[in-house]
Structure 1
Amino acid sequence: MNQATPTLYDRLGQRDGIARITRSLIQNHLANPLVKTRYLASENLSRVEQRVIEFFCAGAGGPEVYSGQDMLATHRGMNISEQEFVSVVDDAMAALASNGIDPATRSEVLSILWSLKGEVIRV
């Protein structure tokens, strides 16, 4: 009998692991001079955190339902530059690494994040 490959959701630690990664990610953003003002200007950073957790969980194959807008609607009018996008992705990779996520899983997440580029940059 073959053992099933763990899902991305499982490899990220399910909801609890993804919540820890998200908290690290937001802390990275708040310390990042290139993007911190976008997060400091947020009216409700805890809501942003919850939406990121939902999005990450649902996108990783978990049972959580994402209750926010799609990526294009969320980022429309923000005029996010490519440099900001890359910086945010770097913050995400650092959050994954600091939470003990293995390199192969980090690469998988990187591919997913990079696939969203067209729905985030200068929309």
Structure 2
Amino acid sequence: MPEETLYDRLGGEDSIEAVVDQFYGYVMDDELVNSYFEDVDMQRQIAHQTQFISSVTGGPVQYTGEDMRAAHEGMGITPEEFDAIAKHLNTALKDFDVPADDREAVMTEIASYQDDIVGA
């Protein structure tokens, strides 16, 4: 039997989508970062982010979006803003009772993209 992936432990794409939906609720309530999403189709953004997280956690989903640097080019995202977004994701994962080790694994994966997102 193949080893269970982080994607599997998170509950698969439907569970990841629920976390992402909750996450964007927090983001949209945060005045520090919500301006980045003013003109964004949030249903499309949720689907896109679900695809990204599903892909980087070992799911059978191919991420088809731009690479992180290109996607965030010219946005001027600060380290403080990146940390706020990461905090919201961690909170959403906690809301869905994701165990600490798995939350840490997701957050480590997301943190690996910080250099491509911050100040791009």
Which position in structure 2 is the counterpart of 1:24? 22
Q: What is the root-mean-square deviation of aligned Cα atoms in Å?
A: 1.2
- Selected match of 2:6 from 8, 30, 33: 8
In the TM superposition, residue 5 of structure 1 has moved relative to its aligned partner by 4.5
Which of 63, 70, 73 aligns to 1:73? It is 70
Deviates more, 1:106-115 or 1:88-97: 106-115
Which of 13, 17, 37 in structure 2 is aligned with 1:39? Answer: 37
What percent of counterpart residues are identical? Answer: 27
How many residue pairs align between the two structures? Answer: 120
Unaligned runs of 5+ in 2: none
3-state SS of 1:49 partner: helix
C-alpha distance in 2, partners of 1:63/1:110? Answer: 20
- TM-score, normalising length: structure 2: 0.94
TM-score, normalising length: structure 1:
0.92
Are 2:101 and 1:104 aligned?
A: yes
